Chains A and B, each alone.
Chain A
Amino acid sequence: MTLLNSPEVLRAIAGGMLIGAGSATLLLLNGRIAGVSGILGNVVQEAIGEQGWRLGFLLGIVLPALILGTGHAELPRSWPLAVAAGLLVGAGTQIGGGCTSGHGVCGLANLSTRSLVATLVFLTSAVLTVFAVRHGGAP
């Protein structure tokens, strides 16, 4: 009960419900999957067809933080780390067809086996990476 009553967990649940509501809105009204890496990748690619909804969604993601601030955020401490991690995130999500939002939220909500497998794989590799960095003596 203490865990469920903690403000951090209540905020996590409220935030998750808003993320789910945003994904549902994009699906119900635009017929699109709220996968941030896919949407960003298609903007980068200048995909044929309409880009307007993509730019609208991406703008919507940034606007609340522009108004309210991002709050405390501990970013990577060195630039080589930020570049390496960014390259892996960008290339990995393009190759694997999704990230935490596309596979992890929308895919699981759509009861997709493909997305379940992707989510288990990226969670496992992320956990192993954090283990190597924090407990394994890696740089």
Chain B
Amino acid sequence: MKFFTALVAGLLFGYGLLVSGMTNPANVLGFLDVFGAWRPQLAFVMGAAVLTAAPSFWFVRNRRRNLLGAPVELPDRLRIDKPLLFGAAMFGVGWGLSGICPGPGLVLLAGGQGMAYLFMAAVIAGMWLVQIVRNKRGS
């Protein structure tokens, strides 16, 4: 059941990424190139996504349960620390170099291009490295 509902959510999400045009890194880089020939599409994608999801977040935040009545704990909304700032800045550099963030990166695996596999292998390696360092520090 949990697999099935998550699969449906993923299908909507993945189809939305395709429809939006954001699975083409050139469109993402066009948005990020504010000093060149700026292409605003990504702003519409994010705006529409946030507005569509917001009522559900409001509902779950107030009720502290999902639609099926199971308790839900949402992430902390206020903590701003060094890892948040440093990690976000680091992610932005990688995103700006490639035009690919993790969602579209997954979608691009379906295209079968070697460069997409290499990119996602490096993403997983980067995650794994951080986890190893965290485990060694015991946090």
A residues bordering B, Cβ < 8 Å? 3, 8-9, 11-34, 36-37, 40-41, 44-45, 50, 52-66, 68-76, 79, 81-97, 99-101, 103-115, 117-119, 121-131, 133-135
B residues bordering A, Cβ < 8 Å? 2-26, 29, 32-36, 39-42, 44-57, 59-61, 65-68, 70-72, 74-80, 83-103, 105-111, 113, 115-116, 118-131
Q: A59-B7, A96-B88 are in contact. List 5 more A-B contacts (CB 8 A).
A: A22-B14, A26-B5, A71-B23, A86-B122, A93-B87
Assuming A20-B50, A117-B84, is B92 touching A8 (CB within 8 A)? no
| Alpha-carbon distance between A120 and B76 when the two chains are bound, in angstroms | 18
Flag if A114 contacts B23 (CB, 8 Å): no
Assuming A27-B53, A33-B75, A36-B103, is B19 touching A15 (CB within 8 A)? yes
Flag if B126 contacts A89 (CB, 8 Å): yes
Distance from B21 Cβ to chain A, minimum over Cβ atoms (Å):
6
Flag if A83 contacts B6 (CB, 8 Å): no
Distance from A80 Cβ to chain B, minimum over Cβ atoms (Å):
10
The 8 Å CB contact of A36, one of B36, B46, B106, is: B106
| Alpha-carbon distance between A108 and B54 when the two chains are bound, in angstroms | 8
| Alpha-carbon distance between A117 and B54 when the two chains are bound, in angstroms | 18
Distance from B49 Cβ to chain A, minimum over Cβ atoms (Å):
4
Q: Which residue of A lies closest to B113 (CB)?
A: A75
Flag if A11 contacts B79 (CB, 8 Å): no
| Alpha-carbon distance between A57 and B13 when the two chains are bound, in angstroms | 9
Assuming A17-B52, A75-B119, A134-B33, is B88 touching A125 (CB within 8 A)? yes
Flag if B23 contacts A22 (CB, 8 Å): no
| Alpha-carbon distance between A3 and B33 when the two chains are bound, in angstroms | 18
Distance from A138 Cβ to chain B, minimum over Cβ atoms (Å):
10
- Top-8 shortest CB links A-B: A60-B10, A96-B87, A90-B126, A15-B20, A86-B122, A20-B52, A129-B96, A16-B48
Which residues of chain A come closer than 8 Å to B106, judged between CB atoms? 36, 40, 58, 61-62
| Alpha-carbon distance between A82 and B122 when the two chains are bound, in angstroms | 8
Which residues of chain B come closer than 8 Å to A44, judged between CB atoms? 124, 127-128, 131
